[in-house]
C-alpha cells in the first residue's frame, strides 16, 4: 500500500508546479492541509476516527490559528492528511500537504526539496536493552543481535558505528517499531537501537516497563522540525514567528510536558522522556540548523 | 519532469560518496552492491520456497484424489489450512508463535522459517491445481490403468500424472511467478531482500523514484525469466494430440 501511495504521489509530484504562495492559497481557499502521522510516538499519532493528536500536531494547530489571525480570516478549516515516511516529501512538494507535522529529521539532503521551521524537537538515537542484560554501552554489543526498524535513519547510524568502531553485531530488522520492540521482548534481539522518544514510548506501553532500560551513549542527534514547501519565504516566516513566540512564552515547554511527561491518550501511558540539553538549547536560541551541524560538534 | 539521479546506486552506503566504478571494494559497499545482494536473497527465498511448494503441493494434490478417505481428508485439510490464512500472518506465525511453542525452532535462522512459510502457503495453491489436473482426466483412464494390472501408485506414475502435470503447467507457471513476488513478505522477518532494500535505501538516499524503478525492474526480470523457462519446458514436454499439445 505504501508503495502504491508513493507511486501515485510521484506521478502528482512530477506534474505540479513549484514555489506557490501558501499564505495566499490559505487565504483564498479558507482551508489548509496538515500532514500528520499514524504512529510517530507522542509527536504525531492517531486516536482513530480521523482524529490526530500529539506534540507536533498541537504546535501546528496553534501555528495555524496564528496564521488565521495574521490573514484576518474569521475561520480556517484544517484538513488532516496522514502521510508516511515514504510519501511525506512528495506530498509537501506537490501541494497536497501545506504543513507537515510529524517527525521529520531536518537534514541537508531534504533541504534541497523542502523547507523546515525552527527545530521543535531533538531526537537522540539510543539503545534499549532488557534491564537484567547487563549491557550498558554499544561496545558490549559485540556479537549480539541488534534490532532496528526498516526504513529509518537508525539503520544507517548503526552501520556507520559498526564501521567506525569495529564492533561486530548482527542486525535484525523489524517492519515497524512495535515489531522491533517485540524482537527485543521475545529475546530474538539483545538490544533495540532507535530514537529515544520511540524507545521510551514503547517501553511505557509494554507489559512490564521495569524490565527495560535505555542505556549507553547517544549514537546520533537529529533535529526534528515541522516541514513546509521550499522557497516560500512568507509562509516560513509566519510559521517560524509563531513558534518562536511560543518558545519565548514558555508554551512549547508546557506542550512538551503535556505530551512527553504526562499520561497521554489513548492508553493514558506516559512517555517519560525528560527534555534533552540539545532541545533546551534549541528552544533558548531558535534555529533551523540541519542534522549535519549537530554531528560536527 | 523530475530530474533523474542514477548515480545514487554508485554511492557508498557509509558516507554517501560516489565511488568511481560503482562497485565497492575493501569493505566499502555501494547501493548497487547492496541491491545485487538483495536480489540474491529474493531469488534464494523464492526458489527454495518453490522447491518446497512443488514437492508438498504435488504430494497433497495427489492425496486429494486417491480412493482413501483418510488421505483425502489430510490433503483437503492441508490445502484449506494454508490457503485460508493470509501469507503475512503465516510468516509471523512461523517467526514469532511457533518458536515460542516449539523451542527447537528458535535455533533456525529466519531465512529457513520464511522459506517454509512461503513454501507451505504456495503448496496449498499448487495442491489445488494438481488435483484439478488429475480430476480433469476421464475416469476411464484410471480404471484402464488398474485393469491393466498396475498398482495404484503405478497408475499414477505411468498413466495419470504424466497427463495431469502437462495440463497444469500454465497455472503452475503463474504460481512460480507469484512466489517471486510474494517473497517480498520476507522483509517483515528481517531478510535483506529487494523490498527491504527499497524501503531502506530510499529513506537513506531520498531517491525513491530511481530505487523503486530499479527494484521493480529486477522483480520483472526474475518473474519473466521463470515464465520463459516454464514456456520452454511446456514446449519440450508437449505431446501431439493432447490438451496443450501441437495440432
pLDDT at residue B1, rounded to an integer? 43
pLDDT the model gives residue A2: 52
Q: For position A39, what pLDDT does the model report?
A: 83
**Cα separation of B241 and B247, whole Å?**
6
CB contact under 8 A, B2 and A7: no
Structural domains in chain B, sorted by start: 32-237 (1.10.3720.10)
Parallel, antiparallel, or unpaired for β A39-40 and A44-48?
antiparallel
pLDDT class of B244 with cuts at 50, 70, 90: low
Shortest CA gap B91–chain A (Å): 12
Domains of chain A, residue spans = 2-122+222-296, 124-221
CA distances from A14 to A167, B104, B205 (A): 43, 52, 19
Query: What residue in B sits closest to A157 (Cα-Cα)?
Result: B14
Task: Indicate the class that CATH gives domain A124-221.
Answer: alpha beta
pLDDT of B26 over the 80 cut:
no
Task: Tell me the per-residue pLDDT of A165-215, one tens digit each, with 9 for 90 and over.
Answer: 888 888 899 988 889 999 999 888 999 999 998 898 888 888 888 999 999
What are A116-161's pLDDT values in tens digits?
A: 999 999 999 999 999 999 999 888 888 999 999 988 888 888 888 8
Mean pLDDT of A260-284: 90
Residue B94 has pLDDT above 80, yes or no: yes
- Closest in B187, B188, B206 to A109, CB measured: B206
The predicted model gives B135-148 an average pLDDT of 95
The per-residue pLDDT for A16 is 46
Q: What is the pLDDT of residue B2?
A: 58
Tell which residue, B129, B117, B119, has the closest CA to residue B55.
Answer: B119
B121 touches B113 (CB < 8 A): no
Q: Do residue B196 and residue A182 have CB atoms under 8 angstroms apart?
A: no
Whether A225 contacts A138, CB under 8 Å: no
Return the pLDDT at B131: 97
Secondary structure of residue A32 in the 3-state scheme: strand
8 Å CB contact of B100 and A182: no
- Separation of alpha carbons B78 and B57, rounded Å: 9
| Most B CBs within 10 Å, among A110, A156, A169, to test the B interface | A156
Residue A129 exposure: Cα atoms within 13 Å on the Cβ side: 19
CATH number 3.40.50.720 is the correct assignment for the domain at A2-122+222-296:
no
| Alpha carbon distance B71, B6 (integer Å) | 56
Tell me, letter by letter, the H, E, C secondary structure of B105-128. Answer: HHHCCHHHHHHHHHHHHHHHHHHH
Q: What's the ipTM?
A: 0.78
pLDDT digits (tens, 9 = 90+) for A72-122: 999 999 999 999 887 899 899 999 999 999 999 998 988 988 999 999 999
Q: How far is A162 from chain B (nearest CA, A)?
A: 10
Beta bridge partners of A145: A170
pLDDT tens-place string over residues B150-199:
999 999 999 999 999 999 999 999 999 999 999 999 998 889 999 999 99
Amino acid at each position: 500500500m505504501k508503495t502504491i501511495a508513493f507511486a501515485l504521489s510521484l506521478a502528482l509530484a512530477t506534474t505540479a508546479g513549484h514555489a506557490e504562495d501558501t499564505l495566499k492559497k490559505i487565504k483564498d481557499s479558507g482551508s489548509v492541509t496538515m500532514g500528520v502521522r499514524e504512529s510517530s510516538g507522542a509527536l504525531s499519532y492517531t486516536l482513530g476516527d480521523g482524529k490526530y493528536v500529539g506534540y507536533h500536531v498541537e504546535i501546528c494547530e496553534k501555528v495555524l490559528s496564528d496564521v488565521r489571525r495574521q490573514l484576518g480570516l474569521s475561520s480556517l478549516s484544517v484538513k488532516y492528511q496522514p502521510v508516511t515516511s515514504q510519501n511525506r516529501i512528495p506530498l509537501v512538494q506537490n501541494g497536497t500537504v501545506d504543513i507537515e507535522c510529524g517527525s521529520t529529521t531536518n537534514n541537508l539532503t531534504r533541504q534541497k526539496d523542502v523547507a523546515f521551521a525552527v527545530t521543535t524537537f531533538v531526537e537522540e538515537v539510543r539503545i534499549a536493552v532488557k534491564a537484567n542484560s547487563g549491557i550498558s554501552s554499544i561496545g558490549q554489543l559485540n556479537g549480539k543481535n541488534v534490532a532496528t526498524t526498516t526504513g529509518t535513519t537508525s539503520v544507517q547510524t548503526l552501520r556507520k558505528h559498526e564501521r567506525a568502531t569495529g564492533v561486530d553485531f548482527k542486525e535484525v530488522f523489524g517492519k515497524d517499531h512495535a515489531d522491533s520492540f517485540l524482537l527485543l521482548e521475545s529475546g530474538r534481539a539483545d538490544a533495540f537501537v532507535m530514537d529515544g522518544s520511540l524507545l521510551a514510548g514503547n517501553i511505557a506501553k509494554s507489559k512490564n516497563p521495569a524490565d527495560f532500560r535505555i542505556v549507553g551513549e547517544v549514537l546520533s542527534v537529529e533535529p526534528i522540525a515541522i516541514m513546509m514547501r521550499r522557497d516560500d519565504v512568507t509562509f516560513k516566516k509566519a510559521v517560524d514567528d509563531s513558534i518562536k513566540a511560543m518558545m519565548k512564552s514558555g508554551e512549547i515547554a508546557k506542550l512538551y510536558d503535556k505530551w512527553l511527561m504526562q499520561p497521554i491518550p489513548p492508553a493514558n501511558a506516559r512517555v517519560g522522556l525528560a527534555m534533552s540539553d540539545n532541545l533546551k538549547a534549541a528552544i533558548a536560541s531558535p534555529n533551523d540548523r540541519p542534522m549535519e551541524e549537530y554531528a560536527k560538534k | 519532469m523530475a530530474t533523474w539521479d542514477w548515480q545514487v546506486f554508485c554511492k557508498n552506503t557509509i558516507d554517501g560518496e560516489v565511488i568511481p566504478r560503482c562497485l565497492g571494494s575493501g569493505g566499502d559497499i555501494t547501493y548497487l552492491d547492496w541491491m545485487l545482494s538483495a536480489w540474491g536473497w529474493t531469488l534464494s527465498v523464492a526458489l527454495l520456497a518453490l522447491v518446497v511448494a512443488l514437492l508438498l503441493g504435488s504430494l497433497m494434490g495427489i492425496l486429494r484424489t486417491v480412493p482413501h478417505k483418510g488421505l483425502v481428508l489430510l490433503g483437503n485439510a492441508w490445502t484449506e489450512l494454508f490457503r485460508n490464512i493470509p501469507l503475512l500472518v503465516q510468516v509471523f506465525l512461523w517467526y514469532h508463535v511457533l518458536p515460542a511453542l516449539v523451542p527447537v525452532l528458535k535455533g533456525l535462522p529466519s531465512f529457513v522459517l520464511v522459506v517454509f512459510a512461503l513454501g507451505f502457503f504456495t503448496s496449498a495453491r499448487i495442491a489445488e491445481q494438481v488435483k484439478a489436473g488429475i480430476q480433469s482426466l476421464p475416469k476411464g483412464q484410471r480404471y484402464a490403468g488398474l485393469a491393466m494390472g498396475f498398482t495404484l501408485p503405478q497408475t499414477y506414475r505411468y498413466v495419470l500424472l504424466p497427463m495431469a502435470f502437462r495440463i497444469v503447467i500454465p497455472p503452475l507457471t503463474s504460481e512460480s511467478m507469484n512466489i517471486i513476488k510474494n517473497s517480498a513478505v520476507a522483509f517483515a522477518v528481517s531478510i535483506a531482500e529487494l523490498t527491504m532494500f527499497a524501503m531502506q535505501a530510499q529513506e537513506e538516499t531520498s531517491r525513491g523514484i530511481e530505487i523503486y524503478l530499479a527494484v521493480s525492474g529486477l522483480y520483472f526480470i526474475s518473474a519473466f525469466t521463470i515464465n520463459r523457462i516454464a514456456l520452454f519446458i511446456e514446449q519440450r514436454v508437449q505431446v501431439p494430440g493432447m490438451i496443450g499439445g501441437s495440432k
